[in-house]
Amino acid sequence: MISIPKSEYARRRKALMAQMEPNSIAILPAAPVYIRNRDVEHIFRQDSDFQYLSGFPEPEAVIALIPGREHGEYVLFCRERDPERELWDGLRAGQEGAMSRFGADDAFPIGDIDDILPGLIEGRERVYYSMGTNQEFDRHLMDWINVIRSKARQGAQPPNEFVALNHLLHDMRLYKSANEVKVMREAAEISSRAHVQAMRVSRPGLFEFHLEAELDYEFRKGGAKMPAYGSIVAAGKNACILHYHENDAVLKDGDLVLIDAGCEIDCYASDITRTFPANGKFSPEQKAIYELVLASQEAAFLEIAPGKHWNQAHEATVQVITAGLVELGLLEGDVEQLIASEAYKAFYMHRAGHWLGMDVHDVGDYKVGGEWRVLEVGMAMTVEPGIYIAPDNQNVAKKWRGIGVRIEDDVVVTKKGCEILTTGVPKTVAEIEALMAGAAQVA
């Protein structure tokens, strides 16, 4: 199973500490466990920032990074070994495992944090911390600071400054290393297989959840623990609901099916959308819209390269889609004016993509100093133009209504342009129809 090597976590911690001001401490809590109902918990997913710096998969843990600390710079608070609890809930690394397996220099039981962490903070000028994402932990941190303040008369020195840790960390996360790209490629390949399988089995009469089950099966068979986000399987006009999630309607003859789904590997997301005919054959209107979306996506890929800015790919999709809608008679007027007045937004109301990484909508600024960010090698993003013709749009001929098409791929910026990670799923009308026809013959 491909995963991020231990050495990379150490490199990241070192890189972060190198950016911290002298005499400072960084503090990060693990993700909380969320209760689903009574004794049942939601599946645990580590906090992405915490995972990025540690690879430590357990809840109830806190990282303290203390550059220059004599007894070790990387301190991990985590659960103690406990045979009784481990019998019920599974194994824990414990303090020993935190050091031997996860590279901590020093480890303490999480139950002792109130006694130990104030002592580690005391005397440090600055605390690097992401305020406001975990309110319960925000309060704990303030309590620890107040413990130090209450001892000021005995000579204790509380920190003077809080620094936004997410700003540093999220900029680091924006640039994917070779190891990260490898993991993302793996996630993309598993997800591609899942989309191919969904196309293969599709036929009118099945329900959307039948296709979702095929996706889940392929994700798990590939070793993914879970989807990176709730899978969208939207037949017919459901495709015009951008974040449709019911997935319980029947696939009707003549419907298009839009599937937006991707798995997560070692906390790295993939995010793929394909749109195909439930019965294996595009109608002329479906084909026209589909090929327009595809042409806009191809135009966008050409705008992804070092030196180009973030918005260029989006602008390319707007240009191609608006011109195409005019050609098809869905919009009327001058293309440049329709772009300026944002008339295309009646059909294409979202952006062409987002950063992709540990979070499906990944971290990182899109603008720097008020200007669109210039792309650099290692940045990863989706390219996902779409056209959605509302079922009740009275301004267009009836034959167009209810068609929703999105095509989404994952790319990484390379020296010369970009690498598309999700080439494993057919995309042209001919490829999709051939795949589905072949599958129908086998069945």
CB 230 → ligand GLY: shortest distance, Å?
Answer: 8
Closest CB to ligand GLY among residues 165, 321: 321
122 binding ligand GLY? (CB under 6 A): no
Task: Identify what 229 binds: Mn ion, ligand GLY, none; CB under 5 to 8 Å per kind.
Answer: ligand GLY
Distance CA(194)–CA(7), nearest Å, equals 31
Show the DSSP H helices in 30-82 as ranges: 48-54
CB 173 → Mn ion: shortest distance, Å?
Answer: 17
Rounded to a whole number of angstroms, the CA Rg of the chain reads 25
> Any bridge partners for residue 264, and if so which?
226, 269
CB 358 → ligand GLY: shortest distance, Å?
Answer: 15
Count of Cβ atoms closer than 10 Å to residue 187 Cβ: 31
DSSP code of residue 67: T
382 binding Mn ion? (CB under 5 A): yes
Distance CA(403)–CA(286), nearest Å, equals 7
Q: Which residues contact residue 442 at a Cβ distance below 8 angstroms, ignoring those fewer than 6 apart?
A: none
229 binding ligand GLY? (CB under 6 A): yes
271 binding ligand GLY? (CB under 6 A): yes
Are residues 116 and 108 in contact, defined by beta-carbon separation less than 8 angstroms? yes
Task: Identify what 49 binds: ligand GLY, Mn ion, none; CB under 5 to 8 Å per kind.
Answer: none
Name the nearest CA neighbour of 347 among 274, 264, 431, 404.
404
Strands 380-383 and 409-413 come out as: antiparallel
Closest CB to ligand GLY among residues 110, 261: 261
Closest CB to Mn ion among residues 260, 264: 260
Closest CB to ligand GLY among residues 63, 267: 267
Sheet-wide strand order for 268-269 = 226-227, 263-265, 268-269
Task: Write out the catalytic residue numbers.
Answer: 39, 243, 260, 271, 350, 354, 361, 384, 388, 406, 408
List the x/- string, 202-241, binding to Mn ion by CB under 5 A. ----------------------------------------
Task: Identify what 214 binds: ligand GLY, Mn ion, none; CB under 5 to 8 Å per kind.
Answer: none
Among 216, 260, 266, 359, binds Mn ion (CB under 5 A): 260
219 binding ligand GLY? (CB under 6 A): no
H or E element in which residue 19 lies: helix 6-19
